[in-house]
Amino acid sequence: QAQLVESGGGLVQPGGSLRLSCAASGFTLDYYTIGWFRRAPGKEREGVSCISSSDGSTYYADSVKGRFTISRDNAKNTVYLQMNSLKPEDTAVYYCAARRRPTTVQRMCVMTSRGDYWGQGTQVTVSS
């Protein structure tokens, strides 16, 4: 019954912005480390950004630093990914994942396989 549902994807022009949402149901996100991952055609899954369950620490892949911002609103049981200055290289299916057992945000994002729950993904296409 635990479920993560991503939303907010779509088609956007280069330089544009999108805000992705990851809403949890069947469990609460308060004590979970959350990560955003993406998979582009022909490429391996990549950790984009992760956020801690406690101290608010964050991790960003080098390719998105300065452009993407991860945040969480535990009252709404939702995690967000604000994506600005989008590039065609950002085109991918974006997934969110939640992990209950303690981990660092770096390990969550770099190892890419630490999630207990995964969403089905939302398509982001950056094209003119």
pLDDT score recorded for residue 14: 98
pLDDT score recorded for residue 55: 81
pLDDT score recorded for residue 23: 97
Question: Who contacts 35 (Cβ-Cβ below 8 Å, separation ≥6)?
Answer: 47, 48, 49, 50, 51, 96, 97, 98, 99, 105, 108, 109, 114, 115
Mean pLDDT of 3-8: 97
**Which residues, in sequence order, are bridge partners of residue 79?**
22, 72
pLDDT score recorded for residue 87: 98
pLDDT score recorded for residue 102: 87
Residue 89 has pLDDT above 90, yes or no: yes
Q: Are 122 and 94 in contact (CB under 8 A)?
A: yes
Give, as one character, the DSSP assignment of residue 84: -
Tokens of 78: 């939702």
Q: What is the 3-state secondary structure (H, E, C) of 87-114?
A: CHHHCEEEEEEEECCCCCHHHHHHHCCC
pLDDT tens-digit series, residues 27-85: 999 999 999 999 999 999 999 999 999 888 999 999 999 999 999 999 999 999 999 99
Tokens 């209950």 belong to residue: 100
pLDDT score recorded for residue 7: 97
Q: Are 115 and 99 in contact (CB under 8 A)?
A: yes
pLDDT score recorded for residue 86: 98
- The alpha-carbon radius of gyration of the chain (Å, integer) is 13
Q: Are strands 10-12 and 122-126 parallel, antiparallel or unpaired?
A: parallel
pLDDT score recorded for residue 5: 97
pLDDT tens-digit series, residues 98-117: 999 988 999 999 998 889 99
